[in-house]
Chains A and B, each alone.
Chain A
Amino acid sequence: MTFGVEDLTVRFGKVEALRDVTVAVPAGEVTAVVGGDGAGKTTLMRALAGLVEPETGTIRRPDVEHLGYLPTGGGSWKELTVDENVAFVGGAYGLSGDELAERADRILARAGLADARGRLAGHLSGGMRTKLGFSLAMLHTPDLLILDEPTTGVDPVSRVELWRMISETVAAGAAVVMSTTYMDEAERAASVVLLGGGRVLLSDPPGDLVAATPGTITVTGTPDDRALAWRVGPQFHEWNPSATPPGATVVQPDLEDACIVAELALRSGTGGDAR
C-alpha cells in the first residue's frame, strides 16, 4: 500500500504553501521530506495527517484508527505522567487491559522510557519527550506514521535511538514519512523529497539524487561566484552549472550538496545567497 499526495495544492489566504506537490509514501519505507524554512514541510505533513484542507489534489491516507502523527515538539501531554499519556492515547484508540499493558511495556522499553513511567512528560528531557511522542504515535501500530521534524533539537544519542525505533517500525511494515532538516538522516531514507517554495524540487532515492546533480562541484578557499558557493568546514563548495574552471578541484557531491544545487538552480536568474 502506498500512501501520499498527488498534485496537492494548499493555500492559506493569498499565500500558496504547496503547489502541485506529489509525494509517494510506500509501506515498509521511510520517505524523508527536506527543505529550508518555509519550504512547506510542515504543511505537507499536516495535509497528510488531514489537518489542512487542500485546494486541489489527492491525499491517500488510512483512516484515523490507522494513522499516527507526531507534530513538531509535541505529541504528549506535559501534565500527565508517561504511563498516563499511554493510558489516554491507548484508551482513545480502544486499547485497554493486557493488550495495552503489553504494548506499553514493549514500546516504552524500546524507547528507553521504562524507568521514567511515573515521571511527568513535562519533566522529561527534549529527547525523552520526543521518544514518548513517537511511542504514543506508534501505540496503535498505524499503517502510516507521519513525523514532523522529530529529531529537531534532540541530542545525537537520542536521535540514534529514535532512528532505531523508526527502522523497527518500518521493518514491521508501516509507511513512514518524516520531515527533517538533517541531511545525514535524509540519507538513511529510502527516498528523499526536497521541497522549495512549496514545490517539489527533487524526489528520488538519495543515491539517485546525488548522481543526478547537474554540473560539477568544486572545492575552493575563494569562490569565483559567492552566489553559487556554500561553506563546508573551512572551505567552500562551489557549483559550476556548465564548465568546470581549469585547475579546480572537483568533489563528489553528497545529499546536502545535491539539495543546495537544486535550490540554487531554482533561484538562478534571481541570484542566490552564499551558503
Chain B
Amino acid sequence: MRAMILKEFRELRRDRRTMAMIIVFPLLLLIIFGYAATFDVEDVPTAALGPQAQLVADQAVGLFDVITIDTDGTADTARTLLRDGDVQVAIATDTQPPTAFVDGSNLFAAQAAVGALGRLGDQITVDVLFNPDLITSWVLVPPLIGYIMMFIGTVVAAIGLVKERENGTLEQLAVMPLSPSSVIMGKITPYFIVAAIDMVVVTLLGMLLFGVPFVGSVAVFAVGVAIFLFVLLGVGVLISTVSQNTGQAIQLAIFFLVPQILLAGMIFPLSSIPWAIRWISYLFPLTYYTTISKGIMLRGAGLDSLWPQYVVLAAMAAFVFTAAVLRFRRDLVPRRHRKPDAAADGAPA
C-alpha cells in the first residue's frame, strides 16, 4: 500500500491542474463566494418623478439612492425606466398619493424596497412590476437556462475537440485540405444547432413548469442567445486547445463554470458584490446573458436598453474565437507556414 500511496503522490505532484484544483481552487472559491454571497441590499437605484420629485429626492434616505430626478416624469416614465433597467424603484408623484413602482425582476432589491416602502403606510402606493408576487423562480429560471446551456455547450465543445487529439485523428485532420477555422466551425456548428434546439426546449419547459412570462421580443432574445452560445462554444474550443485529454478539459471547464453560479448576478445581485470581487463578474458571459434574459423575458426590454450587453457578448465571441483559432492553428499548422517543395534552410519560412 505504501508503494501505491507514494506512486499517487508522485503522479499528483506532476499533475499541476489537479493540484491547483485541490489546493488553490477551494481557497479562491471561499474568498470569492464569501464576499459575493450576500443577500443584503444597501442601495437601490431610484428615480424621483413628477412635480414633487425634488421633495422625494430630498426626503429619500437609507436604502433609496436617487440617481434620477425628473419633474416632468410620469407613471409611464417610471415604467419605461424600470423596463430598461435604468433604476430599480421609480417614485411617481403625479398621482395622489404618490406611486412607487418597483422592479420585481431584481428580487432582493425589490423585497428590500417593498419592505421599506411598506413602512410608510398610506403615504405611498406600491406597485411591483414584472413579477408582482415576487416569485423566486421567475427571477431564477431565465438566467438558469443560460447556466445550464453554458454547462452543456462549454463541456461538449471542449470534449468534442479533445477527443480528436486523444484518438490521434487531429493529425489526420492536419494533413487534410482543411483550414483551422473550417475545422473549428465544422466541429462546432452541429453543437450550436443542437444547443440552440436544447435552449428552445429548456426555455419552453421553464415557462411551462414555472409559469415564467416571456414579455419581450423573441427575435431579440434569439439573437442574444445565439451570440451567447457562440461565446460558450468558443470557450469550449479554447479549453480543448490547452487540454491533452478529456479529464483536463473537464477540469478547466469546471474552473470556468463554477464561479459563475454566484458571480454572474444569477442569485446574488451584482450591486451587492464588493467591487474588489465584482470586476470578475464582468469577465463572465453569463453576467451579460443574465441581464439580457431577465430584461427581455420579464420586463420586455429591447435592444435600445440592452445593446451594451449584446456588444460585450459579441466582443467576447470574437475574442474567444480568434484566440481559439490561433491556438488551434499551432496544433495543425507547422506545414502551413511553408509551401510544399520549398527550401527551409535556416529559420522556418
Binding site for B on A (CB under 8 A): 46, 49-54, 56-65, 67-69, 71-78, 89, 92-94, 136
Contacts and interface: CB of A to CB of B under 8 A. Distances in A.
Contact of A71 (B168, B177, B348): B168
A49 B338 CA distance: 12
Interface residues of B, number: 23
Contacts of A76: 169
B171 A53 contact: no
Given A50-B335, A69-B172, 20 more contacts: A46-B171, A49-B171, A49-B174, A49-B335, A50-B174, A50-B175, A51-B334, A53-B334, A56-B344, A58-B343, A59-B342, A59-B344, A64-B177, A64-B335, A71-B172, A75-B168, A78-B167, A89-B176, A92-B176, A93-B176
Interface of B: 167-169, 171-172, 174-178, 334-338, 340-346, 348
Identify which of A50, A68, A75 gathers the most chain B CB atoms within 10 Å of its CB: A50
Contacts of B169: 74-77
Contacts of B176: 64, 89, 92-93
Question: Which label, helix, strand, loop or mixed, suits the secondary structure of the A interface?
Answer: loop
A71 B171 contact: yes
B72 to A, nearest CB: 65
B177 A49 contact: no
Contact of B341 (A60, A65, A71): A60
Contact of B174 (A51, A61, A68): A51
A57 B344 contact: yes
A53 B175 contact: no
A65 B171 contact: no
28 contacts: A49-B335, A50-B336, A50-B338, A51-B171, A51-B174, A54-B344, A56-B344, A57-B344, A59-B338, A59-B344, A61-B341, A62-B340, A63-B340, A65-B177, A68-B175, A69-B171, A71-B168, A72-B168, A73-B168, A74-B167, A74-B169, A74-B172, A75-B168, A75-B169, A75-B172, A77-B167, A78-B167, A92-B178
A156 B346 CA distance: 44
